[in-house]
Amino acid sequence: MQNSFSQPNSVEIVSNISNENVSKRARVREHVNPLAKKYSVAIAPPVWTETYVDWSKPLSLDIGSARGRYILQMAQLKPDWNFLGLEIREPLVDRCNEVRDELGLTNLHYIFCNANVSLAGLLTKGSLHEVTIQFPDPWFKRRQQKRRAVQPELVATLAELLVTDAPIFLQSDIFEVAEDMRQHFDANESFINLAGAGSFADENTFPEHIPTERENSVISQGLPIYRAYFKRK
């Protein structure tokens, strides 16, 4: 299976989705509680053939796309892929789709939803070719850890949707969060950890890639990043 994640090239791309307009319209909360009642209802899937100009392209999913810059860049670098961002903070999604339209990108879409609630009904079995979950909200307190996006049910849903050999790229700067994500994928027998079960990926295993916003910030602070690279068996 090919992957869209690696081999950044030197195409000139727009990377900056300003959130200026977002904050003028609505306050963007720093975190929302995904277990709150208002995020508990699954959304209906869009008509995918109307959402993307060419729905037959492989689909890369970014869970927790936030201000959307990572897939904004990827969609420009990899026009032969479709990119989908799921994000629970609605004003960010609205702004991302506006920028997508301003740039005329037809292989990029952002959806406001709770990925844990909506993902299973959004896509069909075998329609997904790659997943990235990068720097998810950490929810440090033990009693809040069930708010973390990567839960066994989400991993099981991804196992259903992903095609054989599809790559899954996971990153966090918080060791406990990265370990929690890695353990959930290690525990699901549909996935293989390319660094070996129980291990994080090193720079030889994890491909070179476009950094996310959070990743850039972590790198600039000189902090460690814990990465895992799985494949759907």
Ligand X SMILES: C[S@@+](CC[C@H](N)C(=O)[O-])C[C@H]1O[C@@H](n2cnc3c(N)ncnc32)[C@H](O)[C@@H]1O
Catalytic machinery residues:
137
Strand, coil or helix: 135: coil
Using CB under 6 A, which of 4, 59, 87, 200 touches ligand X? 87
Using the rule CB under 6 A, is 167 a contact of ligand X? no
Instruction: Check the CA dihedral 121-167-194-69 and report its sign.
Output: negative
Judged by CB, which is closer to ligand X: 4, or 134?
134
Question: Which among 86, 93, 88, 95 is positioned nearest to 24, based on CA atoms?
Answer: 95
Whether the Cβ atoms of residue 39 and residue 114 lie closer than 8 Å to each other = yes
Judged by CB, which is closer to ligand X: 38, or 56?
38
Using the rule CB under 6 A, is 89 a contact of ligand X? yes
Judged by CB, which is closer to ligand X: 137, or 186?
137
The nearest distance, CB 104 to ligand X, in angstroms, is 24
The nearest distance, CB 22 to ligand X, in angstroms, is 12
Judged by CB, which is closer to ligand X: 66, or 166?
66
Using the rule CB under 6 A, is 114 a contact of ligand X? yes
Judged by CB, which is closer to ligand X: 56, or 121?
121
The nearest distance, CB 136 to ligand X, in angstroms, is 5
Q: Choose the stretch contacting ligand X; rule: CB under 6 A; options: 9-17, 98-106, 121-129, 208-216.
A: 208-216
Helix 69-77 vs helix 90-103: crossing angle, to nearest 10: 30
**Binding residues among 124-153 for ligand X as defined by CB under 6 A:** 134-137, 149
DSSP string, 137-178: ----SGGGGGGSS--HHHHHHHHHHBPTT-EEEEEESSHHHH
Residue whose pair of structure tokens reads 């008509």 in the numeric block? 47
What residues contact residue 133 under an 8 Å CB cut-off, 6+ apart? 62, 63, 64, 149, 150, 168, 169, 170, 171, 181
Using CB under 6 A, which of 214, 229, 230, 232 touches ligand X? 214
Residue nearest ligand X, Cβ-based = 64
The nearest distance, CB 7 to ligand X, in angstroms, is 20
The nearest distance, CB 132 to ligand X, in angstroms, is 8
Using the rule CB under 6 A, is 64 a contact of ligand X? yes
Six token digits for residue 81: 């892929």
Question: Which among 53, 101, 114 is positioned nearest to 80, based on CA atoms?
Answer: 53
Phi, psi for residue 83 in degrees, rounded to 5: -125, 135
Using the rule CB under 6 A, is 78 a contact of ligand X? no
CB atoms within 10 A of CB 221: 8
Q: Which residues bind to ligand X, rule: CB under 6 A?
A: 34, 64, 66, 86-89, 114-116, 134-137, 149, 212-215
